[in-house]
């Protein structure tokens, strides 16, 4: 009787675990397959890949050359590029830059179908943006490394270690010079710097503003040199990336 009860309980637990696992798989699948839709009007406002006309994961397999399918494919390619870029996955950026040929072997459809003709300016704008990103990649790799170092030291400085605080200032000034050098090559303020782990992707303009704010606060705090570790920690927390 006891064994029978134990077996029944084990079976019940197994079914509960299995059901939970199925729910998790279903929710992940649903999230991964979520469509991202946009329109020409929305794209004109934001200029983001998410708002390109058409929807991702929306191909009509019965019509491989229709507007719905061609926009879905093209938008999916741009999504892959920009998501890879934002993650800082430098090794795979080149392999995802094929979105610049989004209309390969389909130019006739993009130039004749009314819906595709209306969507094409938005896709061509992002094609140009990706081409510029790839041209700037050698410059950006050095800039990205300096951005990573600066953000890492600024994050560590909030713990109150004056060594980290000094290094954060040095790295921040080096980053400012690297940004100025990049902008001499026409890298714009709205250029998105890739992220890395806990360091978020941010535009050049956002980084410039935060670095200037951090340096302004850090210079004052380093000049005053708090006498205790606790005071130092409190002051430098005000200069941490979350607060600048």
Summarised one tens digit per residue, pLDDT across range 133-178 is 999 888 888 888 899 888 888 888 767 666 788 888 889 999 999 9
Convert the pLDDT of each residue in 17-55 to its tens digit: 343 333 333 333 334 568 999 999 999 999 999 999 999
Is residue 233 over pLDDT 80?
Answer: no
- Tally of domains in the chain: 3
Q: Which domain-ending residue is among 86, 110, 133?
A: 133
Is the same domain home to 126 and 100? Answer: yes
Report the pLDDT value the prediction gives residue 125, as an integer from 0 to 100: 97
Alpha helix stretches (DSSP H) within the chain: 2-32, 40-46, 67-87, 90-93, 107-110, 114-157, 162-183, 204-224, 229-237
Kindly state whether residues 171 and 119 are assigned to the same domain.
Answer: no
Give the DSSP letter of residue 58. Answer: -
Confidence of residue 221 (pLDDT cuts 50, 70, 90): low
Based on the fold, state whether residues 195 and 205 are members of the same structural domain. yes
Asked if pLDDT for residue 94 goes beyond 80, the answer is yes
**195 and 111 together in one domain:** no
Coil vs helix vs strand at 35:
coil
Structure tokens at 239: 């200069």
The number of C-alpha atoms within 13 Å of 193 and in the hemisphere containing its C-beta is 27
Range of the domain at 172: 135-238
Q: pTM of the entire structure?
A: 0.69
The answer to whether residue 120 is domain-embedded is: yes
């Amino acid at each position: 009787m006891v064994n029978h009860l134990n077996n029944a309980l084990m079976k019940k637990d197994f079914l509960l675990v299995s059901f939970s696992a199925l729910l998790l798989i279903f929710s992940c699948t649903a999230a991964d397959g979520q469509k991202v839709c946009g329109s020409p009007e929305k794209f004109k406002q934001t200029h983001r890949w998410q708002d390109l006309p058409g929807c991702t994961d929306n191909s009509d397999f019965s019509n491989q050359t229709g507007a719905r399918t061609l926009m879905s494919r093209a938008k999916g390619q741009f999504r892959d590029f920009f998501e890879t870029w934002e993650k800082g996955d430098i090794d795979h950026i080149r392999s995802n830059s094929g979105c610049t040929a989004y209309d390969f072997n389909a130019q006739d459809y993009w130039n004749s179908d009314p819906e595709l003709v209306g969507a094409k300016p938005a896709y061509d704008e992002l094609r140009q943006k990706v081409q510029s990103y790839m041209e700037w990649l050698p410059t950006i790799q050095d800039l990205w490394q300096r951005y990573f170092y600066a953000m890492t030291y600024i994050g560590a400085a909030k713990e109150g270690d004056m060594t980290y605080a000094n290094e954060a200032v040095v790295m921040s000034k080096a980053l400012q010079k690297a940004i100025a050098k990049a902008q001499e090559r026409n890298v714009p303020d709205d250029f998105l710097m890739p992220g890395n782990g806990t360091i978020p992707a941010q535009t050049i303009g956002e980084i410039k503003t935060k670095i200037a704010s951090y340096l302004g606060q850090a210079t004052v705090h380093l000049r005053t040199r708090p006498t205790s570790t606790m005071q130092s920690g409190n002051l430098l927390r005000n200069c941490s990336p979350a607060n600048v």
